[in-house]
Homo-oligomer: A and B are copies of this chain.
Amino acid sequence: MKTEGMTEDEINRRHAEKMAKKKAAREKMLADKTVEKGLVIVHTGKGKGKTTGAMGLAVRAIGNGMKICVVQFVKGAWETGERRVLEHFPDQCVMKAMGEGFTWDTQDRQRDIAAARAAWDFAKAAIADPSYQMVILDELNIVLRYEYLPLDEVLETLAGKPEMQHVVITGRNAKEELIEAADLVTEMTQVKHPFRSGVKAQLGIEF
């Protein structure tokens, strides 16, 4: 906004006009949006915030009185802080961890496949249950990338989910077909990371 040579009064007036236009544009846009349905949401990309963003959605949903299910396909992310908070709401939040550790820790493909299958069967049962208004499949994309689960089966399950249920899927390298099937896809891009300057993983941030 170029404001040189303008009085405060002029700036204020111009601001009010501009904001009134924005408000009208926004209201017009929202008026067109009438469909209500559960969304398939994907958080992907190499940046931070995929799992923490899903966690934020979990908190928002719980705060709105919804019942949710969180299935964690890779151990670690939800182990500590967030788990303790979500455990305050046992009637609203069911959590299930695959619990076999990151794949580069186990180095045992068959065990990872079995663990992925067990977590997925649990997730499928949750998705089939319309009393869950949100199901979070944390790091499912990693499991799909390693082909520990058939992508077709996942897509079919998503296509058959209860109409009003939200499903949130996280993890880098989301499959193209999953992005196609999703309603809302956000890519988290790393612009700057403290590891580059030798800072180690921090309590409350990384775990």
Q: Which residues of A contact B (CB under 8 A)?
A: 1, 11-12, 15-16, 19-20, 22-23, 26, 29-30, 32-39, 41-45, 47-49, 51-57, 59-64, 66, 80-86, 88-89, 103-110, 133-134, 147, 166, 179, 182-195, 197-205, 207
The CA of A51 and the CA of B62, in the complex, are separated in Å by 16
Secondary structure call for the A interface: mixed
Which of B22, B33, B51, B194 sits near A198, CB closer than 8 Å? B33
Q: Determine whether the beta carbon of B83 is less than 8 Å from that of A205.
A: no
Please give me the residue from chain B that is nearest to A40 by CB atom.
Answer: B194
A137 to chain B, nearest CB (A): 16
- With a cutoff of 8 Å between Cβ atoms, the chain B residues found around residue A203 in the complex are 64
Beta-carbon nearest neighbor of A44 in chain B: B191
With a cutoff of 8 Å between Cβ atoms, the chain B residues found around residue A202 in the complex are 36-39, 166
Contacts A56-B53, A59-B56, A60-B52 given; indicate if A36 touches B189 (C-beta within 8 A). Answer: no
Tell me which residues across on chain B come within 8 A of A147, comparing CB atoms.
1
